[in-house]
Structure 1
Amino acid sequence: MNNQWIQFAEQVRQLYGKDFVPLHEPTFNDKELEYVTDCIKTGWVSSVGAYVTKFEEELAKFVGVKRAVAVVNGTAALHIALKVAGVEAEDEVLMPSLTFIATANAISYCSAIPHLVDVHEDTMGMDPFKLEKYLQKIAEVRGNELYNKQTNRRIKALVPMHTFGHAAHLDELVALANKYHLVLVEDAAESLGTYYKGKHTGSFGKVNAMSFNGNKIITTGGGGAILTDDDALANYAKHLTTTAKVPHKWEYAHDEVGYNYRMPNMNAALGCAQLEKLEQFLVQKKALTSKYEELIAQLDGVTLFTEPAHSNSNYWLQTLDLDASLERDQVLAFLNEQGVMSRPIWRPMHELDMYKHCPSTDLTVTNELKKRIVNIASTPVEVK
């Protein structure tokens, strides 16, 4: 790599004041320690406790939905979101091939089948325009349900994912779901703090999922949440994630197969402290984006992926888009050797052994982006 890249790596290290800069690490201070210590002192450390309730209430308020149900991780959140939305065994679920594997795994946990969809260049999220043309060819509405004419399976749900915190084309996806009798379930794992035309992501679907893994914009260590405006679905989700236990003072009775998915109080305590700093993190993320635009302007063949016109993005992961003059793996090797942790975009689902036989649209854009995208250091930081 040339001197431009050597200078860029040095500038990123200087920005963070570190010899090794992680891709995205949590930011903690005394408030997290105070809340977690309080959990330990009170003894309320498991899935029942005041912090779980507070975290759910504050999260729902921030996103702008009626209910949030806190669970152990984002995959569990999406699994239960799909289940309470009515996804059943052998249903097909439309989802982007360009996503983290948790999206496909959650569908598989329902014994349903991922139906892989291409993404749009300006969002890296599901392309509703291409998808509608595809559905017109391969699907038909029977009664109030959509069926794949090629497999004769029901297509039940549509699951867009907001890649790296950039909102997908939600207006068009909502319209598509309504037109074809699909349940919209947002995979908003990466998009806390992202707004689509002024409305928070994770509030458009019938039921939605979010993640608070250690590398997310806020973290509960491990954690996720189910988001919905439907009280009945929220109550059912909470019941299922509490092992489907029937409330009783002392009896252990369960009325269906449930899941031990509820978020522990200690994790929620961490989350409450993190939520208090979310607005600060979002400001820092925007400033970091502006700084990267300045630094990347010195590099030939590179552009910084910035928010689409409809999205006020959280910029969870900063994203380089390389042109044909640069080899992705050469860039990755150089930056990591220079102490600037960098990663490629996920390997698309259609390239993984367990999902390569799933039905799919043409995936031209997905295959192109895989060759070009590199994520770089994205932890919120005070930019000087």
Structure 2
Amino acid sequence: MNLAAPALSEAEVFARLSVLRSAGIGPVSYYHLMRRFGGAAKVLEALPDIAGRSGALYRHVPRERIVAEMERLQAAGGHYLFHDDPAYPRLLAALETPPPVLTYRGDLSLLGQGAVALVGARNASAGACRLARDYGASLAARGYAVVSGLARGIDAAAHRGALAAMDKGGGTIGVIASGIDVTYPPDHAELQEDIAVRGLLLAEMPPGTEPLARHFPFRNRIIAGLAAGTVVVEAAPRSGSLITARLAAEAGREVMAVPGSPLDSRSRGCNELIRDGAILVQSADDIAELLERFDGPSRLKLREPIWTAMDEGPVQFAPQGDAEDGPADIAHLLGMAPVATDELIRQSGASAGAVQMALIELELAGRLVRHAGGRVSLA
């Protein structure tokens, strides 16, 4: 029952899932452990000792849980896409910590096309929804993959527009905050199935996972990471769409916004983005022109962009030279205020590997919180 790329054995898929589904192991810890030990099976062997040094009791994820997840994915017609698969999208791989594994249904070739994200308010105005639908259709007709989050309002309109025009060369990618076999919102069951059959449906959460509020920022980072540019059509201040725009800017992608009346609260978020440096767009032609000549970094004034070497191909793992280093003594350097990992390395004088192992031990013990930009704090 191998649901991943043929290059991965079923045992390797099983081992990677066992690491990823372990309590206290997130994407950052996963990548550090894989680089240190060179493979998932070796990570699983090491985890009890790593957790034990921090005073935590580590229990391997029950085999039955992983088997049940794989069976559920197979029943849904889905597949796994791991970080080192040749089909893994290069723009997403360029993020600081790309999702180690995604599940998908549909046409994986859409990940190789130019992509643009269209996002906005759930309670969008009728005019904004029509605009998003027109943008989606026009961009798909130009050969773009239109990426959005399958929410009500702008997201749904963008998907529907792209689906209507995908016979001209483009398509649409839906990224959901639940498991691949869970529909949210429920009234989008038909739209979600249409995207899975004719386009591409992606999820980071394990099959069977219901969408929780904390899942949506993770979904938003995938939407932003897949696309060369993100367009916000209509958004209120502090909305999820603005989170997506911020994540896009942090990843060095272009951020565009459609202006609106200052009298409409649903336009305030877009107007604020434009004030902060997002590019004002009023047509699909504007969007396409910006994407065709954009070479980064983003002009949105949020922070320095995060880049990794996109030309090096998929992430590969081999044991690091400092694999024998013990964990650094850094607990006294940590507090409730987030601090950069690089600063911990400088102040402790320890190797990067030793500091990372200490952080992983604290994380497994539930004592560490990871923040954006590689910063950490005590829980």
> Scaled by the length of structure 2, what TM-score is found?
0.32
By percentage of residues, which structure has more helix?
Answer: 2
